[in-house]
Chain A
Amino acid sequence: MRTKKDWELVGAGSGFLAAFALTLYLVVVVATDPSGSPALPAVDEADAAPAFVAAHLNAWRMEMLLLTAGALLLLWFLPCLWTSLRRAEGAPGRAALATLAAGVGGGTLMLISSILGYTLALASSPTQAGVAPTLYTAGALSVATAGGVFALMLFAFARVAMRAATLPTWLGVYSMVAGLLCLFGLAAPFYDGGPLNAATGLLGRWIWFISLTIWLLLLGIHFIRDQRHAPSESTDDVDTQTREEEVA
C-alpha cells in the first residue's frame, strides 16, 4: 500500500525532476551553439529563426519536449508545494494559494510556448514557414511572460518562507531575489533586441530562467529531505484524517 510519505515524496521529487528537465533544456540550448552560424536570433532577427530551426531541427524539438516536461513536472509539484505552504502559513493561506495560482499560470505559459515551438518545427509548406518567425517571437514572449508570472509565485513563496518556521529563511531570501530577476520577463515585450529581449536576452530570457531552475532544484531537494525524515502514514489514514478535518 502506498503511504502518504510515498506520495509526498513523489510530489517533492517532481520539483527536483522539473529542475532536472529544465537543466537538460538549457544543456540542449547550449549544444546547438546559439552564437554560431546560424545563430539563435533575437526578436528583431526573428526572420532568421527558420534557418536556425532548420539547422537544428531535432535539437529544437528536444528543447520543446524538455520544456514541456519541465512545465508538466512543475504542475505536478505545485499541489505538494501548496500543501506545505498552507500548513506553514496557516489559515486563510492566501500566499499559498497565490503561489499555486501563479505557478499554474507560469507553467501553462511555458506549455503554450512549447506548442508554438512545436508548430514552428512542423512547418512543412511555404505558407506555414511564412509564419515561423511570428511563432518564434510568440513562443519567446510566452516564456518571458511566464517569468513575470513566476515572479508572483516566488514572492508569495518568499513571504511564507521568511515567516514560517517550517521553511528555511535562506530559501525565502533566494526566492525574493529570483522573483526580482523574473520580473525582467515582464519587460521583454518592450525590447526587440539587447539583454531584455525575450528570445536571447540575458535578462529577458536566461538569468531568471536559470534562477527559477535553481529555486526548483533547491526546493525539490529540501522537500525530499523533509519527506524522508517525516513519519509514514497510509493513504487510507490520510483520507480518513482529511474527512475528519472537513467534518470538524
Chain B
Amino acid sequence: MSRVGHGIWLVLKPLLEIALALVVLAALLLVPTLGGENLAVKNALNGFTVTAASATTNGPLVGDQSLFDKETACVQRWAKDPDNNYLNYFPAIGAPEHTDNVRSGLMPCGSFTGDFGSDQNQVFQYKSETTYPGGIGLVVFDGPTAGYLWAGGIVPGSGQYVSRFDPSTGKEIWRTWVSNVNESGQWLALGSLALIKDGTLVAAAGHTFWKIDRQDGSLIASQDQPIEGTPAVDHNFDGMVVAPDEAGTLLIKSQTRSVGCPTQTNNAMSSCPNDYGDAPNSVFVAVDPVTLKNLDSIEINQNVTARTVAVERDGKVYIYGNGAKSLVRVIWDPDTQTLKQDMGWQPQVILKGQTGGASPVVLGDWVIADSNANPSTDTPQCIFSVNQDDPTNTNTFCPWGKTFPVASGATTSETPAAPAVDPETNTIFVNDYFLKGVFAVSLDPTSGAMKEKWSRPDWWSSDYFTLVGPRDQRVLVSQNISADTTTVDIGAGFDYTETALWVNAETGKTLAESAVNPSTAPGSLVNIGYGGRYYTMGNDGSLFIYTVQSCKDATVNVTPASTTSCPDVSSTSSSSSSSPSPSSSSG
C-alpha cells in the first residue's frame, strides 16, 4: 500500500510543484494590475508631459502682439457703453470674473486667430510654469501683459490667495495670501475676484473683502462684512458684481453651508444638508469700492447658491439670483444706500424634480435661468425665460426633454455653470455636466419663447461659455470632456481629460480643438486674454494657455498635436501646391 502511495507521490510531486510555480507566476503577473490603471497617476504624468512638451517645442505663448492695440482700444470703447454691462470695471478684456456684470460670456474685443472659414487650424498650448496649490478658480486681466488669478478653495487647502502671472508663461510674479481657514475656522470655498475702475484688484470670500494693489500685490484694505443670524464662518461670498452706479458699489451675496458642518470647498453645499440640515439663507451686502466699508447688509428669504448678476433698468440696479425656492431679485438703491429684496419678483419656474439652477443671465428684457445646479435624477435640465417687468411672464424650454433617460442615455442632470447669451443674435447657449450635448437656443426678444437653433450631442462641457469676435465671425468656446470619460469618472472626481473647443457660434461647426489635457475646474470657463490667447484652469493647479493658428500660417506642427491639426508642415513647405487639410474634426 505504502509502495503504491509512494508511486503516486512520485508522479504527483512534480505536477504539484509545476502547479505551484504556475500559481506563483500568475500571482506575479496579476499583482501589478490589481491597482488598475490609476487615473490620478496617469493624469499627473500626462500633465508633466504637457509641460515638458510645451517647454521644448511650443515655448511661451506671446499671442498675436499686433492685435494688442486694437483689442485695447476696442475694450475701452466697450466698457464705456452702459448697454454692455461693463461700467465701473477696469477697461480691460477679462477684468470682471465672468466676462461682464451679467455673465453673458460675450467679449467681442477678444480675438480668434485661426481661420474662421474652416477647421483647418491647429492649437498651440503651454502649461503654466507655476503650479498653483489649492486649484485656480478665477482669472482676470488688466491688459496684454498682466494676468491675475484667485486660487485656493477648489480642492482642500489651508487658505486662498491672489497671484499675478505672466500671460505668456503662466509664471507667478507675486502671491498674496488673504486667508487661512485653520486660523479662522472659515468655510473655504471658491470666492470672487475683479479688477475695478480704480485699477485695484478686489477679492471676496468667506465674509471678507480684500483690496489689493495689482502692481506689487500689497494689501490695501480688508474688511469683514456683517452677517446676522447665522455663523459668519458658514457664509462664503461669491459672484461679485459692480453696480452701474456713480460709485461703482460692490455687490455680492453669500452662499451658505449647513451650520456645524465641517466640510470644506464647494462640496459642502451638496454634502452637508443630509447630516446637518438645510443651509441658512443668503446675505446680500453692498460695499464701498474704496474703503470696503459695509453700506448695507440684508438676509433674504432663501439660500442662493449660484453667482448673481446685476443690471441697471429704469433707474434701478437689480441683482438677480437663482435661489433654492425661486428666482430672486434684490434692488440696490444708490441714493439711499440700501438693499431690498423685491418680494414681488420671485418666479418659481423649475419643474417638479428639478433643483435650483446656476447663475441667471440677462438677455434684453428677459432673465434666463437654468436648473439643476445640484444634481437631479428626476427631471433633466430645462431653461427658463422670465420677464424682468412681469415675473408671471415665463417660458420654458427643455433641450434634453423632460424625462430620463435622455438621448445620451444619462439619468442624472447637473449644471454647475450658467448659460451664455449673445444679445446681438438673441441666442442662448446651454450645456449639462451629466447629460452631455450643447444646444444653441434662439430667444424671441418679444415673447421670450425659445427654440433650438443647433445642437452638438458630441460636445460635453460643464463650463460657462465664452464668445469672442465680431458678430459676423463670432466664436463660441468651452471645454470638451473626452468622449471616453464616463459619468462615473465625473462623479468620482477630477480624473478625466478634456480639450478646449472653438466653434462657429452661428452654426456650431468646429473651428479648432486643442490636444487632450487633464481636467479643468468644473463650472469655470475658458478665459479670454489678449492676442488670441485663452486660459483654462486645471484642477491640478496649472493654467493651460492656448492660441489658435490657421494652417495657412503654420510653420511648425504643434506638439502635442491638437485635435484639429495641420498636415506635415515640412512636406507642405517643400510642396507649395499642396493644400492643408485637418486630420480630424467634428461637428
Q: Is the CB of A47 within 8 A of B56?
A: yes
Chain B residues 38-68 with CB under 8 Å of chain A are: 38, 40-42, 44-49, 52, 56
**B 151-173 to A, binary, CB cutoff 8 A, 1 in contact else 0:** 00000000000000000000000
Which residues of chain B come closer than 8 Å to A168, judged between CB atoms? none
User: Which residues of A sit under 8 angstroms from B550, Cβ to Cβ?
Assistant: none
Residue from the list B31, B40, B48, B49 in contact with A65, Cβ < 8 A: B31
Interface of chain B, main secondary structure: helix
Number of A residues with CB within 8 Å of any CB on chain B: 27
- Say yes or no for A86: interface residue by CB 8 A criterion: no
A37-73: CB near B (< 8 Å → 1, else 0) gives 0000000000110110110011001101110010000
Q: Is the interface of A mostly helix, strand, loop or mixed?
A: helix
Q: Does B28 contact A (CB under 8 A)?
A: yes
Residues on B with C-beta less than 8 A from A126 are 44, 47-48, 131, 540-542
The residues in A between 63 and 96 inclusive whose CB is less than 8 angstroms from any CB of B are 64-66, 69
Would you give the shortest CB distance from B2 to chain A, in whole angstroms? 17
Contact B42 A61 (CB under 8 A): no
What 0/1 pattern do residues 99 to 143 of A give for CB contact below 8 A with B? 000000000000000000000011111111110110000000000
For A50, the chain B residues whose CB sits under 8 A away are 44-46, 48-49, 52
Interfacial residues of chain B within 3-52, with CB under 8 A of chain A in the complex: 28-29, 31-33, 35-38, 40-42, 44-49, 52
**Bound CA–CA A54/B38 (angstroms):** 9
Given contacts A57-B37, A126-B44, contact A48 B49 (CB under 8 A): yes
User: Which residues of A have CB within 8 Å of B47?
Assistant: 126, 129
The answer to whether residues A58 and B45 also contact, given A47-B52, A47-B56 and a CB cut-off of 8 A, is no
Residue from A58, A69, A123 within 8 A of B37 (CB atoms) = A58
Residue among B32, B35, B131, B542 facing the most chain A CB atoms (10 A cut-off): B32
> Is B45 a contact partner of A53 (Cβ separation < 8 A)?
yes
Q: Cβ of B36: which chain A residues have Cβ within 8 Å of it?
A: 58
> Assuming A54-B42, A57-B42, A58-B37, is B48 touching A132 (CB within 8 A)?
yes
Binding site for B on A (CB under 8 A): 21, 47-48, 50-51, 53-54, 57-58, 61-62, 64-66, 69, 121-130, 132-133
Given contacts A61-B35, A62-B29, 11 further A-B contacts (CB under 8 A): A47-B49, A50-B48, A61-B32, A66-B28, A69-B28, A122-B38, A122-B41, A123-B41, A126-B44, A127-B131, A133-B52
By a beta-carbon cutoff of 8 Å, the part of chain B in contact with chain A is 28-29, 31-33, 35-38, 40-42, 44-49, 52, 56, 131, 540-542
> Which 8 pairs across A and B sit closest by C-beta, in order of nearness?
A61-B32, A50-B45, A54-B45, A129-B48, A129-B44, A47-B52, A51-B49, A62-B32
Return 20 A-B CB contacts under 8 Å, by A number: A47-B49, A47-B56, A50-B44, A50-B48, A50-B52, A51-B45, A54-B42, A54-B46, A61-B32, A62-B29, A62-B33, A64-B32, A65-B28, A65-B31, A122-B41, A125-B44, A126-B48, A127-B131, A129-B47, A133-B52
